[in-house]
Amino acid sequence: MNKAGQLVLSFSLNDDYYAINFDHVSEVIEKKLIVPFPMSKDPAKKGIISIRGKVLPVFVPLFYPKDKPDGGDKILVLNHKQEKYAIMVDKVKKVRLEAPCRAGDTVNIQAKPTLIVNHESILGKNL
Amino acid sequence: MDFDTNELINIFKEETADIIHAIKKNVSNFEENRLENFKAILRGLHTIKGGAASVGYTPLRDKIHEAEENLAHFKEEQNILSLGLNVLEDVLFLCDEVEDYIEGAAGAEVSESHHEQHKESGFHDFSESSSEKKIPNSDKTVNSFIRVPVERIQKNFDCISEIFLTRNQINYQVELLKKGKIDIDKICYEWDLIDSTFRKNINELEQIAMSMRMMTISSLFTRMDKTVRGYCKESNKNIRTKFFGEGTEIDKRILDGLAEPFIHLTRNAMDHGIETPAEREKAGKSLEATIEFSATIKGNEIFVTIADDGKGMDPDTIYKKAKSKGVNVSHVKNNIDKINLIFAPGFSTAAEVTDISGRGVGLDAVKTYVEDLQGNIAINTELGRGTTFILVLPLSLSVVPALLAACSGQKVAVATTDIIETRTVAKESLIINNNKKYFLRDGEYIEVIIASEYLYSDSQKNSQDAKTSLCFVKSKNKTIKAIAFDRLLANFEIIAGKLPSITKVEPFISGTTILPTGEPVFVLNLGKFMEFVEEESLEAA
Q: Give me the pLDDT at residue B497, please.
A: 78
Minimal C-alpha gap between A111 and chain B (Å): 35
Measured CA to CA, the distance from residue B423 to residue B67 in angstroms comes to: 69
pLDDT band at B351 (very low <50, low <70, confident <90, very high): very low
Minimum CA–CA partner of A83 in chain B: B500
Contacts of B236 (CB under 8 A, 6+ apart): B276, B277
Residue B3 has pLDDT above 60, yes or no: no
- Using the Cβ of B494 and the Cβ atoms of chain A, whether some distance falls under 8 Å is answered with no
pLDDT, tens digit (0-9, with 9 covering 90-100), for A47-81: 999 988 788 999 988 888 877 777 788 999 999 88
Residue B347 has pLDDT above 70, yes or no: yes
Which residues in A lie closer than 8 A to residue B412 (C-beta atoms)?
Answer: 38
Q: Give me the pLDDT at residue B370, please.
A: 85
Displacement of CA A51 from its chain's centroid (Å): 17
A–B interface: beta-carbon pairs under 8 A: 67
Minimum CA–CA partner of B410 in chain A: A35
3-state secondary structure of B455: coil
Residue B486 has pLDDT above 60, yes or no: yes
Residue B434 has pLDDT above 80, yes or no: yes
Q: Give me the pLDDT at residue B341, please.
A: 83
3-state secondary structure of B363: helix
Q: Give me the pLDDT at residue B77, please.
A: 67
Residue B340 has pLDDT above 50, yes or no: yes
Measured CA to CA, the distance from residue B515 to residue B403 in angstroms comes to: 12
Q: Are B445 and B431 in contact (CB under 8 A)?
A: yes
3-state secondary structure of B240: strand
Measured CA to CA, the distance from residue B169 to residue B167 in angstroms comes to: 5
Mean pLDDT along residues B288-299: 89
Task: Please provide residue B273's backbone torsions phi and psi, each rounded to the nearest 5 degrees.
Answer: -75, -55
Q: Give me the pLDDT at residue B471, please.
A: 92
Among the ranges given (B106-110, B127-131, B304-308, B445-449), the one the predictor scored with the smallest mean pLDDT: B127-131
- Using the Cβ of B449 and the Cβ atoms of chain A, whether some distance falls under 8 Å is answered with no
- For chain A, what's the residue count? 127
Residue A94: its H or E element: strand A92-96
Mean pLDDT along residues B48-76: 82
Measured CA to CA, the distance from residue B522 to residue B505 in angstroms comes to: 11
* DSSP conformation class of A3: S
Up-side HSE of residue A21: CA atoms within 13 Å toward CB? Answer: 18
Residue B113 has pLDDT above 60, yes or no: no
Mean pLDDT along residues B290-310: 88
Residue B10 has pLDDT above 90, yes or no: no
- Using the Cβ of B497 and the Cβ atoms of chain A, whether some distance falls under 8 Å is answered with yes
Please give the residue that has the higher pLDDT: either B400 or B202.
B202
3-state secondary structure of B97: helix
Minimal C-alpha gap between B533 and chain A (Å): 12
- The residues with which B497 forms a beta bridge, in sequence order, are B512
Q: Are A90 and A71 in contact (CB under 8 A)?
A: yes
pLDDT, tens digit (0-9, with 9 covering 90-100), for B440-481: 988 889 999 998 888 888 776 666 778 889 999 887 777 889
Q: Give me the pLDDT at residue A80, please.
A: 87
Mean pLDDT along residues A8-35: 91
Q: Return mean pLDDT, chain B.
A: 80
Q: Give me the pLDDT at residue B360, please.
A: 41
Measured CA to CA, the distance from residue B318 to residue B349 in angstroms comes to: 8
> Mutating which of B410, B459, B502, B515 best tests the A interface, going by the most A Cβ atoms within 10 A?
B502
The percent of residues in chain A predicted with pLDDT above 70, rounded, is: 96
Among the ranges given (B273-282, B284-293, B427-436, B494-503), the one the predictor scored with the smallest mean pLDDT: B494-503
Q: Are B500 and A58 in contact (CB under 8 A)?
A: no
Q: Give me the pLDDT at residue B397, please.
A: 62
Q: Are B479 and B334 in contact (CB under 8 A)?
A: no
Measured CA to CA, the distance from residue B360 to residue B362 in angstroms comes to: 6
Indicate yes or no: CB of A56 within 8 angstroms of CB of B500: yes
Measured CA to CA, the distance from residue B137 to residue B99 in angstroms comes to: 14
The angle at the Cα of B118, spanning B114 to B122, to the nearest 5 degrees, equals 130
Contacts of B238 (CB under 8 A, 6+ apart): B232, B277, B287, B288, B289
The percent of residues in chain B predicted with pLDDT above 70, rounded, is: 86
Q: Are B485 and B407 in contact (CB under 8 A)?
A: yes
- Using the Cβ of B528 and the Cβ atoms of chain A, whether some distance falls under 8 Å is answered with no
Q: Are B427 and B234 in contact (CB under 8 A)?
A: no
Closest CA to B109 of B100, B97, B118: B118
Q: Which residues of B171-209 are buried (b: 16+ CB within 10 A; e: fewer)?
A: eebeeeeeeeebeeeebeebeeebeeebeebeebbbebe
The beta-carbon neighbor of B500 closest among A39, A40, A84 is A84
Q: Give me the pLDDT at residue B306, please.
A: 93
| Exposed / middle / buried, residue B80 (Cβ in 10 Å: 0-12, 13-18, 19+) | middle
pLDDT, tens digit (0-9, with 9 covering 90-100), for B122-181: 333 333 333 333 333 333 333 466 777 788 888 889 889 989 998 998 999 999 999 988
Minimal C-alpha gap between A95 and chain B (Å): 28
pLDDT band at A17 (very low <50, low <70, confident <90, very high): very high
Q: Which amino acid is at B513?
A: T
Residue B356 has pLDDT above 60, yes or no: no
Please give the residue that has the higher pLDDT: either B113 or B73.
B73
pLDDT, tens digit (0-9, with 9 covering 90-100), for B183-240: 888 888 888 988 888 888 888 888 888 778 788 888 888 888 888 888 888 888 889 9
Strand-strand pairing, B419-426 and B467-474: antiparallel
Q: Give me the pLDDT at residue A85, please.
A: 92
Q: Which amino acid is at B120?
A: E
Indicate yes or no: CB of A57 within 8 angstroms of CB of B502: yes
Contacts of A67 (CB under 8 A, 6+ apart): none
Please give the residue that has the higher pLDDT: either B260 or B77.
B260
Q: How many Cβ atoms are within 10 Å of A110's Cβ, its own excluded?
A: 9
Q: How many Cβ atoms are within 10 Å of B75's Cβ, its own excluded?
A: 12
Q: Give me the pLDDT at residue A78, please.
A: 93
Indicate yes or no: CB of A39 within 8 angstroms of CB of B455: yes
Residue A116: its H or E element: strand A112-117
Q: Give me the pLDDT at residue B333, please.
A: 80
Q: How many Cβ atoms are within 10 Å of B11's Cβ, its own excluded?
A: 12
Q: Give me the pLDDT at residue B352, please.
A: 44
Q: In what order do the strands lie in the sheet with B399-407?
A: B487-495, B399-407, B410-415, B520-524, B509-514
Instruction: Give Cα separations from B257 to A38, A100, B370, B506, B509 (angstroms).
Output: 28, 45, 8, 22, 20
* Helices of type H across A1-127: 119-123
Q: Give me the pLDDT at residue A10, please.
A: 92
